[in-house]
Structure 1
Amino acid sequence: MNRIFFIILLSIFSLCSMAQNDTLPKFTAKKKSGVITISWINAFKNASQINIQRSKDSNRNFVTIHSTPNPNAKTYSYIDKTAKNDTGYYRVFVLFEGTNYIFTRSQRAVEIKQEIVEKDPSVINVTGPEDVKSKDPKNREKIPPPVTNTPVKKAWEPSVFIYTGDDGNVVIKLPDAATKKYSVIFSREEGRPVFVISHVKQPYLTLDKATFLKSGWYFFELREDGNVKERNKFLITRDN
């Protein structure tokens, strides 16, 4: 009987927790006791990637700080342990199957005051006879075998050096470009070369997305002084 009551109580807590979260493209950002938590309810059925991004201001310079391991999870919650202060803005990037994607509206974490819950003196915990382990082997419950979890495939994370900006153009951001020799090889998803930048001399460079002729995934190989620094990809979308 106590076990049934516990299951019902757990279900109520789960429903209450879901009710406190917003549904994508809206999300919840809250701060409690100095800890910032980002959470949401996911009603999308064709999402292939969901990233949490953070910026010092609300309009630009967003950086991906976390990628969800399962973009189809109905509910998700993430604690930002890398936030140095609470003045930043957050937004969520959702990539759908194909080439469509959305950015949510940016927002700051809302302060949640600590709630002190006093124990009700009228509530008494009672341990029933069914909670006591029986010494009779016939009455002992069978312990199920351990569940083997299938490893989750690592989610794609956008590069911090070469990525698609808010306007859809490609950004190359290399702060030490003046002191090092960087080169970039761009190619299509099937491996066909597009073009090469033999020497990136500027720390911040923008490439018009029209340079890539059509929408889709593009791969790049970033080299630093002749050595491979990063291999990654970015998405070029068509204008609406």
Structure 2
Amino acid sequence: MLDPRICPACGDRAQVPLVEGATRRCARCGHRWPFRRLPLFALTGPSGAGKSTVGPALVERLGGRAVVLEQDVLWTAGLRDDVDGHPEFRATWLRLAAMIAQSGRPVVLCGTVVPPEFEPLPERALFSHIHYMALVAEPEVLARRLRARPAWREWGEPRIAETLEFNEWLRKNADTFTPSVEVFDTTHASVEESVHHATTWFMRLSTVDSGESATRSE
């Protein structure tokens, strides 16, 4: 699948992709081609809250309805930009998710992200919506989970303290973002309950998006 920024007719690479209805349009030559503008589902939250447990379970639970991916697989040297919010890293994921969406299945992206890191990017135009759900936990529980991780993951106390600070910030500010972030507390939830909640979140919002897409196309 071609990078969604690139026009298949003239080869121009758009800085800001133009999506009009169900088509991409090249600002340089005017060429139009079919484009599926699906939603993206961001399963976010601090480390230790449950993303790496819930994400794999969603693969089986959602079946062929979505492609579930782990964000950190692209956290490589070439994409670890030092700019606040890591825009190159985020933009790369948006382009990849948009390419996958052309198969007709949306992406559930598991990894720490908040709306201000995705919403201002030019690649945001490639999606109808980005839906966010954050898994969080009480600080003492989160710290205990992180300290129990294997040594190779390098969870020292300074890093744990930073994660706890982010966890509390996200819990307090989730509903102030645009769009807002839905929050689910995994402190006392079983894995099954967490997976069920994430599945319900996806099914509810994917149904809404399908209805809106049908209305726009009529």
TM above 0.5, yes or no, is no
- The structure with the largest helix share of the pair is 2
- The structure with the largest strand share of the pair is 1
Compute the TM-score of the two structures, normalised by the length of structure 2.
0.24
Compute the TM-score of the two structures, normalised by the length of structure 1.
0.23
